[in-house]
Amino acid sequence: MKGKFEAAAIRGVGIGLRAEHYDHIVENRPDVPWFEALTDNYLSSAGRHLRYLERIREDYPVTLHSVGMSLGSTDAFNMDYLSRIKQLAERLQPAFVSDHLAWISVEGKYLNDLMPFPYTEETLIHMAERIRRVQDYFGRRILVENPSNCLSFRFSTMSEAEFIREVATQADCYLLVDVNNVYVSAMNSGFNALEFLGALPAERVKQFHLAGYEDRSDYLFDTHGYPVHDPVWKLYETALERFGPVPTLIEWDTDIPVFEVLMAEAHKAEECLREVE
Amino acid sequence: MELRELQKLFHEAVFNKGGEAERKVCSLIEGAGGLQPESAFALYRGSILGKFQRALRATYPVCLKLVGEEFFNAAARVFIDRYPSRSPDLDDYGKDLADFFDGFKPAESLPYLADVARVEWTLHSISKEGDAPPFDMRQLAAVRQAKWGNLIFFLPENRYLLQSDYPLDRIWRLATSQGVEREAVNLDEGHANLFLWRDRDGTRMEWPADVEWRLLKALDNPVPFATICETLAMEDPEVDVARLFPLFVQRGWVSRFELEDRVEPGKA
């Protein structure tokens, strides 16, 4: 079903759309260039969330970001889930549709969390094929995001950055680089974040995510419940220098603050973006 | 190890703490930072189980209030072990909690708990469905009076009718009200009828009287209004349709109508 919206390119710094801010956005129409909706919250055919999203879409471009495609899973695709995303995308005409390089299900049982996988040739071929199939079904390229990792597999045969570069090339998809996740994984796994960014194919990087991690002394945990930390801002500046003024999202998922806090984070990111525009 | 075997092992290890699967997974991984493999894996397990716990707590706040934190968390842990998630959408998780409570021995002294869980799951589910438009009185006025008996009236599309053996209305009100927790409910007080539906203001919750319930049940079938009136007059004269039906329309319990010959077979 074709909707009433036309696809629009995005630029600048968007904000993750959360239910806590629906009324504020509708009533005040804040100066935000675009919003990213968590796709999974809008897959019903009706209801309050979808009503708000459609209302907000009237005023802003949106992107759709999901967690359930299970691109690394060895299960068959959940076609009901994919078809709902496809319908939603046709209705809202988002600038981008994205999900994660992860798996969440096996034998039809879902863990509903982003699970890690080994960086091997087998996984690479498998995931690239799955991404291609999703893109064929949607009739559009998708963006895939690097998750944060708290463990690695001893038998991986390539680095995460090599894996992402290869999977993007083989699948012919775009990349959503979560700068916070790069930093968290680099600190946790001991790789060089700058080398990681340097290994990614610049022409495929179409969006950044920025968020806050939690420092648990032994390791960093990707909670999305804090302001963006200073080292992540620095890494973001480096990423902008390498990839250019890529549309960037301020993401906040736990202990969600008032909208003004997100706006302040977005303004900081805008200042960084302007430096490279 | 092949990817599928690894994923099966990972899943098994999440739900069998300290088991063979976890030992195998930990032999394959390295922890982040200074973490041992066991601690790193425990982070994933904690995150997964925490999400399921939070999903259940969010969907079942009344059950949580009735049984308390400790009981709910312990029951949720058993439930999570027995009922794997079958949907990529975490919001779909927990549908079977009512059935679980039905057979959960530690909850035997709370026989109404499963019905409370059924109501909460329905509230959760229909919140994502469409709203019933208001009844169109002008459209009804345009129908010739001679045809009124042929009209089929419909309850709101997203509705739920539940009859509990327990005084669920009193239990619900006590659990969701402030400052009256000490008031006791006698489970022998009798049954309760519940009617849930959606209108433009959100999900509505009503506790119909028995006569209202019987008319609601009659209207829950796509039968011409004349047939409903005649049947109730013969078999259940206590149901005063002439008095109740206008009240139903006023309350939004009836959302629309069709003429009998325009209803497709089997379509309500």
ipTM: 0.92
CB contact under 8 Å between B37 and A151, yes or no, is yes
User: Which pLDDT does position B179 carry in this prediction?
Assistant: 60
| Tally of residues, chain B | 268
Look at residue B268 in the predicted model and tell me its pLDDT.
40
> Mean pLDDT, chain A, as a whole number?
95
Question: Is A1 inside any structural domain?
Answer: no
Q: Is A188 helix (H, G, I), strand (E, B) or coil?
A: helix
pLDDT at A1: 45
CB contact under 8 A, A73 and B91: no
DSSP B73-119: HHHHHHHHHHS-B-SS-GGGTTTTHHHHHHT-GGGTT-TTHHHHHHH
B128 vs A78: CB contact, 8 Å cut-off? Answer: no
How many CA atoms lie within 13 Å of A98's alpha carbon, on the beta-carbon side?
A: 27
**What per-residue confidence (pLDDT) applies to B181?**
55
Name which residue leads in pLDDT, B266 or A57: A57
A7 found inside a domain: no
B61-98 pLDDT, tens per residue? 999 999 999 999 999 999 999 999 999 999 999 999 99
Cα separation, B232 vs B239, in Å, equals 7
- Inform me whether the pLDDT recorded for A2 exceeds 60: no
A76 alpha carbon, distance to own chain's centre: 23
Residue A96 belongs to domain spanning: 13-276
The verdict on residue A3 lying in a domain is no
Establish if A130 belongs to a structural domain. Answer: yes
Question: Mind listing the pLDDT tens digit for each residue in A176-211?
Answer: 999 999 999 999 888 999 999 999 999 999 999 999
pLDDT at B180 over 70: no
Is residue A245 situated within a structural domain? Answer: yes
Residue percentage of chain B with pLDDT more than 70: 95
pLDDT at A221: 83
Q: Report, as an integer, the average pLDDT of A64-70.
A: 97
Chain A contact for B201 (CB, 8 A cutoff): no
Is residue B178 pLDDT above 90, yes or no?
A: no
Mean pLDDT computed over A215-239: 91
Non-local CB neighbours of A127 within 8 Å, separated by 6+ positions: A71, A72, A101, A117, A167, A171
Q: What is the amino acid identity at position B68?
A: G
Summarize the confidence of residues B179-187 as an average pLDDT: 67
Categorize the per-residue pLDDT at B21 as very low, low, confident or very high, splitting at 50, 70 and 90: very high
Confidence of residue B183 (pLDDT cuts 50, 70, 90): low
| A145 has pLDDT over 50 | yes
Lowest mean pLDDT among A22-26, A55-59, A223-227: A223-227
Least confident residue range of A100-104, A170-174, A261-265, B253-257: B253-257
Closest Cβ–Cβ partner in A78, A103, A189 for B32? A189
pTM of the model: 0.89
From chain B, pick out residues whose CB is under 8 angstroms from the CB of A40. Answer: 88-91
Give A268→chain B minimum CA distance, Å. Answer: 30
- Is the pLDDT assigned to residue B182 strictly greater than 70? no
On the 0-12 / 13-18 / 19+ scale of CB atoms within 10 A, A29 is exposed
- Shortest Cα distance, chain B CAs vs residue A266, angstroms: 28
Q: Average pLDDT in the A5-21 region?
A: 93
Number of structural domains (chain A) is 1
Instruction: Check pLDDT > 70 for residue B264.
Output: no
CATH number at residue A44: 3.20.20.150
Residue at A174 is within a domain: yes
> In chain B, whose CA is at the least distance from the CA of A216?
B33
What's the pLDDT at B257?
A: 93
More confident residue, B146 or A73: A73
Q: Would you call B10 an interface residue with chain A, using a CB distance cutoff of 8 Å?
A: yes
pLDDT at B131 over 60: yes
Residues of B in contact with A150 (CB under 8 A): 31-32, 35, 40, 43-44
pLDDT in the model for residue B265: 47
Of B11-20, B106-115, B123-132, least confident by mean pLDDT is B123-132
Interior/surface letters A159-177, b for 16+ CB within 10 angstroms, e for the rest: bbbbbbbbbbeebebbbbb
Alpha-carbon distance A202 to B11, whole Å? 35
- Are A116 and B44 an interchain contact pair (Cβ–Cβ within 8 Å)? yes
A2, part of any domain: no
The stretch B95-103 carries a mean pLDDT of: 96
In this complex, is the C-beta atom of A254 within 8 Å of any C-beta atom belonging to chain B? Answer: no
**Is A48 an interface residue toward B (CB < 8 Å)?**
yes
The predicted structure's pLDDT at residue B263: 53
Judged by a CB distance cut-off of 8 A, whether residue B11 touches chain A is yes
Is residue A4 in some structural domain? Answer: no
- The two three-digit tokens of residue B27, written as one number: 């032999």
Within 10 Å of residue A65's Cβ, how many Cβ atoms?
Answer: 25
